[in-house]
Every structure is written in structure tokens, then in C-alpha cells.
Amino acid sequence: MTDRVLILGGRGRIGSSVAQDIATHTQAKITITGRSAEFGRAVSLSSGGQVQFLVLDLVEVDKLRDAIANSNLVIHCAGPFHYRDTNVLETCIAEGVNYVDVSDHRSYTSKALNFHEQAAAAGVTAIINTGIFPGISNSMVRQGVEQFDKPEKIHLSYLVSGSGGAGITVMRTTFLGLQYPFEAWIDGKWEIIKPYSEREIVEFPSPYQRSGVYWFDMPETFTLPKAFPSVKTVITKFGSVPDFYNHLTWIAAHVFPKWLMQRRYMIEFLSHVSHSMTDVTNNFSGIGVAVRSEVTGQKNGKTAVYCSTVVHENTAIASGCGTGSIAQLLLEGKLKKPGVFPVEEALPTDLFEEAMQSRGIKVAHNWL
């Protein structure tokens, strides 16, 4: 029997990259959804029949349920996840269908994790936060944590060039992340952090080298302390290339009135302006991504630091590899873990390394 994969929001840059990865690495029949029938004809013509298109809006509950029931795996790519409810996940659990998403915000992650018991009882494996960051980044952390007798500190840094090859949804996600202070696990207690604060210069691999990053609200800020209880500090920082985008984002976070940044029309305005700007700067900055994971801990009675880095020339494609690799492992039966889990709790390191190698993504490691 041919596996059937449903990708919600599959016509976006991230969703399209996920579809491409799954089409490359599996024989599954893929259905991607969107609200415009016009897009569907082009998809069917270019994919040789492996990818089909379904006109579907997530508010069409009955049609959504039917589409999920006719699938072996559902992949939720319809962000931004700040606004999303858990109806897709709940429907997957009710229909006994495995679930994966590219969610990237703590509000959605928290809601999804509440369905862990229901998913486990239904035998449904639901893996969230599976893109590049969160996603591949979290598996890099797990890989690092496993090097230690007692891991104590995690420092994650992300860098994206221009638009990252993604659509306007990613711009929305960035500005939505500036709206409110958030909690971070620092020295064994939860502290309130201001978004886009405490600029730090971090050494990334070529071509990025030394670049500025800032505190940013990510799901892994609170999922990693739960996954690795001995860790007392988790830092998640994000930056953009070229650097002047960082300064503009800092102004939006610290100078613009909070009430204004919490209005949806302001988020839309800033997102469209930024997307127009990156259309120009992408030509010289590129659209790549760099991730640096640094884990500090005790090994053989001494304090040590283990650093992992990865670079990819296209952020959207890298995200597709992260999610697509999880989908492949689920479809092949190599990964089965009923319940709702962030990727660092669900994906064993050996399978992560195998998936990255098969996609030509090199994770570099060294002891500092």
C-alpha cells in the first residue's frame, strides 16, 4: 500500500520544501493544501503525479477531517502558529493518524503538549517543532547533551540571511516574537526576558563568522529544560544578516510602543515592509541559515564545552529537510513514540545522524 501524506499549508515556502524532501526520499503520495485552486494545476503538472493539490481552508472542519482520515501522516505547515488552535492535532488523534508540525512558538507548543496522554492512548505519534530551528537545532543539542556525564548549560544561536528563502509568514513570526517578555530557564529558575535584548557576538562557520544575536522567544527555551533536567540554563538567541536588520528589529522591540506592536495590523505592516526589503538584500546576503549549539557540562570530573554547528544555503530547504526526515522515519516505521513530543524527546541521535547524512547536511562538532 502506498503511504498518503497530507501537508497543510503546503503551498508556502516551508510547506513546499517539506513536500519536496518527502517526494525525494519516499514513494508516498503527497497532498498539499491551500485556499486557491489556481496553484493546484501547476503542482500537478510539475510533480509527475506524486504531489496532488487539495483546496482546503482549515476552518472547513468536515472537509479537514475527511482529508486527515484518508492519510497516513499529517504535516501541519500552516503558520504562523501564534494564532493556531489544536484542532488539526486533535482530529489526528481522533482518527488515529500520526502528526508532525513546523510550529515555532511556545503558545502553540504548550497547547499541543497538553494532548500527550490522549495521543499516547490512541497510539498516535505526534512530533512538534521539527523544522530547522526549532527542529534540527534541538537534535544537535541532544547530540551534544549525550556527550556529558552531567550537562549543565545549553546556548543556542541562530542566524538567518535575508528572508531565508521563506515567505512572509516567517516575517510575521519574527515580529510576533517581539510582542511580549517571556520566561527563560537561567541558573535553575525561571526569569523574565525582554525580547531582542542582550546582543551577543557569536562565532559562526563561514561565510558568517562573527555575527550579532539577541534573546528570542522560542519553544526550545522551555522544552529543553524539561527534556534534560540536569541543565540549569538554556539560552536561545537569534540574529539576521545583514546586521542592519538586527538594529531595525531592536527598534521595533524596544522603541515602538508595546500597544502598537501588539496590534495585528502593525505586524502585517512591518512584515510586508521587511519582506520587500529582503527581496533586494537577498541578492547579496543570500538566504542561508547557520545554527550553533554549545553545551557545557561535566565529563570525567571536569567542566567541558561541546560545540556543534550547521550551515545551509537555503533556510526554507533546511527546514524542509528537518521535517521531511521525521516524516520519512515515521513512514518507514523506524520512529514510533505514541504521545506528543518536541523533536528532542522523540528523535534518537543515531536516526538524526542518519537522516542528515542522507540529505548531505553536515553537522560539525568540536570540543572547546
Looking at the chain, the whole-number percentage of residues with pLDDT higher than 90 is 80
Q: Pairing mode, if any, of strands 29-34 and 4-8?
A: parallel
Q: Which residue ranges make up each domain of the chain? A: 4-131+317-361, 136-315
At residue 45, the pLDDT reads 44
What's the pLDDT at 47?
A: 53
Distance between CA atoms of residues 99 and 127, nearest Å: 6
* Model pLDDT, residue 201: 97
What is the mean pLDDT, run by run of 10 residues, along the chain of 368 residues? 91 90 95 75 56 90 95 94 93 98 95 98 98 97 98 97 79 87 97 97 94 96 97 97 92 92 91 89 90 97 97 95 98 97 98 97 95
Amino acid 37: pLDDT: 67
Q: What is the CATH number of domain 4-131+317-361?
A: 3.40.50.720
Answer CATH for 136-315 from 3.30.360.10, 3.40.1260.10, 1.10.150.250, 3.30.210.10:
3.30.360.10
